[in-house]
Amino acid sequence: MLLAQVNTGELRLKVTDPGGLGLSASITISSNSSQYLNSLTTSKSGEVDIETLPYGIYLLRAESLGFTATTETVEIRSALPSEHTIKLTVAPVKTSVQVSSSAPLIDPYRPSSVMQIGSQQIQDRTASLPGRSVQDLVDTQPGWLYEGNAVLHPRGSEYQTQFVIDGIPLTDNRSPSFGPEIGADDLDSMSILTAGFPAEYGRKMGGIVELNTRRQTADGLHGEVVLSGGSYDTGAAYGQLQEVHGKNTFGATASGSMSAHYLNPVVPENYTNRGTTGDFSAHYERDLTQNDRLNMSVRHELSRFEIPNELVQQEAGQLQTGSNFETMGTVRYQHIFSPDSLGTLAAMVRDNANNLNSNQNSTPIIAFQHNNFREGFFKATYSFHHGHHEFKAGVESDNVFLHEDFSYRITDPTQFDDNTPSSLAFMEHRPDLEQSAFVEDLIRLGKWTISAGLRWDHYQLLLNQSAFSPRISVGRYLPSLNMVWHASYDRIFQTPSFENILISSSPQIDALNNNFLRLPVQPSRGNYYEGGLSEAFAQCMSLDVNVYRRNVADFADDDQLLNTGVSYPISFDKAIVYGAEAKLSLLHLAKLSGYASYSYMVANVWYPVTGGLFLGDDVTAAVTQTIGHFPASQDQRNTLRTRFRYQFVPWLWFAAGLSYGSGLPFAYTGDQADALAQYGPQVISRINFDRGRILPLLATDATLGADIHKSDRMIIRFQADGSNLNSRLNVIDFGGLFSGNAIAPGRSFALRLSTNF
């Protein structure tokens, strides 16, 4: 039965010989329906724990030298650990035995609107440039857009994407210009949830990306080294070491990268766009007892980068630089009270700083920003399994202490209204206090699955508000058609982004325009509806179709300060977003696999606007436009993505795909002649001024991968990637002079060499 919520369990697997003694064996665990694939090795005693497996049916294959490979299926349907034993038989002498099996194409327990990517899929979906991030991987998924190097979901802005890393939610903007990123090499699996949200999740509901970092399970020392480089002077290195000793696991990772194409440039010349990143982490895990497990980790990330210039700024000699620093520590304790109940405690502390600096030649404004925040997070959950029910309840508290320091000085007054102050200095600090509690029940009744939950949120920053959010999802499995249909309703209470929210809502900056009434940015409240079906056919293909509608009051968005990379939260009176998505997957046809997806979306928002830091013509627009509606910045009507992979031989494969977008809307106050003089014919040829939309985007990519060396102790892989092979100038966003245009990378190539041991 199709679940409407994402929950994860744990599989405790043991491999034995015919006499019941433990065996060291290679394990492959996969689920066709959720696109999960992972390879592990048991300990010398034949045991391995596989954590954070989303509910569903999995295919297990165990192999050990001298024994016949065995394939079995196992179902994960509870947060409590599931135990499973595979008994291998001695392989007959001079006889080759092939065991072939496959998990159901339609998993009756697979969560709706979820894409799960295992470690192998992550390696296969590399981005065009080395040092790729989680955002790059999210961008490859159907129905997601990538604008200005910030993750966008077609049903919400980049500010409303929630990343959950090893069970810890991060609700701040994780795009490159706002915060350090988690590198894809650190990941073991990734899930994307777009509807049927469990009551456990709240605050940022545009989309949820669950990330689980790597953990080795076999005894001894293991590691990985990755080197990559390519176009735009890009290079990256990643290293990981992990020691498993009895009940203790120690691990550490380090990575660094550089590129001359860090952000999406605003003009094709790609002026001032260099960036470097670094990442260091360590973790410790111990099984205190059979029923108790402790996890601890610490991570430090940093990035330093330049802000891309426009032509006028480059000629003036402008140099604006940004930097992000983040240090985070987490601890997680799990206790099994009984065979039917499980409790978890999780906590996080982190310190984050974002900076912007400008030289004296900056135009039309010299801007400085030195923001930081400290966060303390705590969460406690309790799960209980009884009969047809899987209950879960919990509480969480998130306290963020914000400090904002922003100043500017106008250097070109002709770009602003006459009454705009020539300088501004703003400094303020305040705590953002948020608490929540939830309860949810997952009910299985024959071919039906019902998920029902209730969440309570309290938000206290500039406003003091609270709300209850009911959620319900229903699924029905039709075995005669090998089909699952599902429907869900989500009530959401979505807190505003806290980046620059103090200045966005502060009456201290009313002096910028005394005609503008500045009010605090309100939390968003909305009703999300979705329905769809999943069907398998021809024993090798599956089709997923979804339709959705979102009605949101106080719709969250952001307003960018010129093209500085600094953004401010705003909200519109309301928004209506609706559309449909379809994905056709070829799971296997001999050596070929792949998918083709299409999404249609319409998104409109209604005036007036609240919040922001408006300068120049934007002030007049914010004051005078109080009624009417217009297309949202994510309103790309048609999006098509394909990717197919062919395995020539076991050690050599090739993949290729394309992405198409019908183009986003734009607003430009000048005329076409002004735009031509500012940006040249290349950019203007990609703009439709009559329709107010950017012309369609199209990019093709290809990857060739090979296993250079493969043994029981070491695997060396080589990969070559090509992106935008059609060399099209793809304009992602267009807003006019100093308004944050975004141009996608041109034709680029990358090479990657990885060694696992």
Which helix (H) or strand (E) segment holds residue 559: the answer is strand 541-560
Q: What is the pLDDT of residue 12?
A: 87
Query: Under a CB-based contact definition with an 8 Å cutoff, are residues 734 and 307 in contact?
Result: no
Q: What is the pLDDT of residue 568?
A: 81
Q: What is the pLDDT of residue 210?
A: 83
Give the span between the Cα atoms of 83 and 50, in whole angstroms: 11
Q: What is the pLDDT of residue 53?
A: 80
With a CB cutoff of 8 Å and minimum separation 6, the contacts of 364 are 410, 411, 412, 414, 415, 416, 562, 738
Kindly provide the residue ranges of all beta strands, DSSP E only, lying in 290-422, ordered along the sequence.
292-306, 320-338, 341-358, 365-386, 389-410
Q: What percent of the chain has pLDDT over 70?
A: 83
Strand 524-537 with 592-611, pairing: unpaired
3-state secondary structure of 617: helix
Taking residues 146-169, report their average pLDDT.
56
Kindly provide the residue ranges of all beta strands, DSSP E only, lying in 561-669, ordered along the sequence.
567-589, 592-611, 629-631, 638-649, 652-661
Extents of the domains making up the chain: 8-90, 115-333+341-458+470-756
Q: What share of the chain is helix, strand, coil (3-state, %, to 5)?
A: 10, 60, 35
Taking residues 39-64, report their average pLDDT.
82
Give the span between the Cα atoms of 116 and 274, in whole angstroms: 33
Q: What is the pLDDT of residue 63?
A: 86
Bridge partners (DSSP) of residue 304 are 276, 323
CA atoms within 13 A on the CB side of 436: 30
Q: What is the pLDDT of residue 703?
A: 95
pLDDT at 400 over 70: yes
Query: Under a CB-based contact definition with an 8 Å cutoff, are residues 78 and 34 in contact?
Result: no
Query: Under a CB-based contact definition with an 8 Å cutoff, are residues 640 and 674 in contact?
Result: no
- Among 1-15, 100-114, 168-182, 688-702, where is mean pLDDT lowest? 100-114
Query: Under a CB-based contact definition with an 8 Å cutoff, are residues 76 and 110 in contact?
Result: no
Decide if domain 115-333+341-458+470-756 falls under CATH 3.40.50.150.
no
| Closest of 110, 35, 139 to residue 595, by C-alpha | 35
| Closest of 419, 329, 319, 315 to residue 362, by C-alpha | 319
Taking residues 634-648, report their average pLDDT.
92
- State residue 697 phi and psi, 5-degree precision: -100, 140
Bridge partners (DSSP) of residue 653 are 647, 705
pLDDT digits (tens, 9 = 90+) for 239-285: 999 998 888 999 999 999 999 999 888 889 999 999 999 999 999 99
Amino acid letter, residue 604: N
Kindly provide the residue ranges of all beta strands, DSSP E only, lying in 23-113, ordered along the sequence.
26-31, 36-41, 47-54, 56-63, 70-76, 82-87
With a CB cutoff of 8 Å and minimum separation 6, the contacts of 147 are 158, 633, 634, 664, 732, 733, 742
Give the span between the Cα atoms of 250 and 223, in whole angstroms: 12
Query: Under a CB-based contact definition with an 8 Å cutoff, are residues 726 and 700 in contact?
Result: yes
Winning range, highest mean pLDDT, from 8-12, 532-536, 607-611, 640-644: 640-644
| Closest of 114, 169, 196 to residue 471, by C-alpha | 196
Q: What is the pLDDT of residue 217?
A: 66
3-state secondary structure of 4: coil
Taking residues 421-443, report their average pLDDT.
93
629 against 142, higher pLDDT? 629
Taking residues 402-416, report their average pLDDT.
91
Q: What is the pLDDT of residue 740?
A: 67
pLDDT at 599 over 90: yes
Q: Which two tokens stand for residue 692?
A: 């107010």
With a CB cutoff of 8 Å and minimum separation 6, the contacts of 21 are 46
Q: What is the pLDDT of residue 618?
A: 60
pLDDT digits (tens, 9 = 90+) for 70-97: 888 888 878 888 889 998 887 764 433 3
pLDDT digits (tens, 9 = 90+) for 508-540: 666 555 555 567 889 999 999 999 999 988 878
Burial of 673 (0-12, 13-18, 19+ CB in 10 A): exposed
Q: What is the pLDDT of residue 600?
A: 94
3-state secondary structure of 122: helix
3-state secondary structure of 7: coil
Average pLDDT over the chain, rounded to whole?
Answer: 83
Give the span between the Cα atoms of 635 and 626, in whole angstroms: 21
Taking residues 34-58, report their average pLDDT.
78
Taking residues 124-137, report their average pLDDT.
41
Q: How far is CA 346 from the centre of its chain?
A: 21
Correct CATH for 8-90 of 2.60.40.1120, 3.40.50.300, 1.10.3720.10, 3.40.50.1110: 2.60.40.1120
Give the span between the Cα atoms of 162 and 155, in whole angstroms: 13
Taking residues 407-428, report their average pLDDT.
86
Q: What is the pLDDT of residue 614?
A: 64
pLDDT band at residue 379 using 50, 70 and 90 as cut-offs: very high
- The DSSP secondary-structure symbol of 435 reads E
Query: Under a CB-based contact definition with an 8 Å cutoff, are residues 412 and 437 in contact?
Result: no
| Closest of 508, 611, 522 to residue 560, by C-alpha | 611
Bridge partners (DSSP) of residue 585 are 542, 595
- Among 80-94, 404-418, 726-740, where is mean pLDDT lowest? 80-94
pLDDT at 737 over 70: no
Q: Which two tokens stand for residue 189?
A: 């699996």
| Residue 18: CB atoms within 10 Å | 10
pLDDT band at residue 103 using 50, 70 and 90 as cut-offs: very low
- The DSSP secondary-structure symbol of 538 reads T
pLDDT digits (tens, 9 = 90+) for 345-378: 999 999 999 999 999 999 999 999 999 999 999 9
